[in-house]
Amino acid sequence: MTTAVSRKASHSMALVALFAALMAVMGLIPKIDLPLGVPITLQSLGVMLAGCLLGARRGFQAMLLFLAAVAAGLPLLAGGRGGLGVFMAPSAGYLVGYALAAGVTGALMRLLPQGTPLRTAASAFAASVLGGLVFLHAMGIAGLVLLAQMPLDKALLADLVFVPGDLVKCVLCAVVVHTVARALPDWPFGGRER
């Protein structure tokens, strides 16, 4: 029994590390800088994928590991940024929201219906929209208000520029989940026990 527990724990740690590394790889994709100090990056897709594929707990852990590496100074954010200073920038609300949004996305994915690959993909889209877009954007808007001293109405308006791209990322997340569901029908989406 000890071997089974240690194998499960090792598997879980490997998945957490793998998704933290995936976030780092997504940081290699060039960012698009915006005047408000928050760039457009591919990394929010990693948040959505971590929640949908790993579940709330492991998705949260993967993003927390990634953020710890960034805080330690590794240049893992898009554009080669890293260090504690990025947590004081206007984009800090989005960064802090990565771990929480992965947790929310994973919790929603666990609750939503699954069964067929198409239903699972539809659930992944819904979980990504609610957790990886709505929740993450709410965290980002809070960061703009608190750190950039931006009025709430202007922060809401500034955040709208990210919505179309993040909706595309929600679709991409659903496509990946659909592919995984077809190839690995026993995958525990949202951290469900099989």
Confidence of residue 37 (pLDDT cuts 50, 70, 90): low
Among 4-8, 22-26, 112-116, the minimum mean pLDDT is found in 4-8
Q: What is the pLDDT of residue 5?
A: 63
Which string of DSSP letters, residue by residue, matches 17-46?
A: HHHHHHHHHHTTSPPB--TTS--B-SHHHH
As for how many domains the chain has, the answer is 1
Q: Indicate whether 36 pLDDT > 70.
A: no
- pLDDT, one tens digit per residue, over 109-154 is 999 999 899 999 999 999 999 999 999 999 999 999 999 899 999 9
Instruction: Report the CATH number that the domain containing residue 92 is assigned in CATH.
Output: 1.10.1760.20
Query: Among 120, 140, 123, 133, which Cα is nearest to 187's?
Result: 120
Average pLDDT (41-65) is 96
Q: What is the pLDDT of residue 39?
A: 72
Confidence of residue 3 (pLDDT cuts 50, 70, 90): low
Q: Indicate whether 2 pLDDT > 60.
A: no
In which domain, by residue range, is 57 found? 2-191
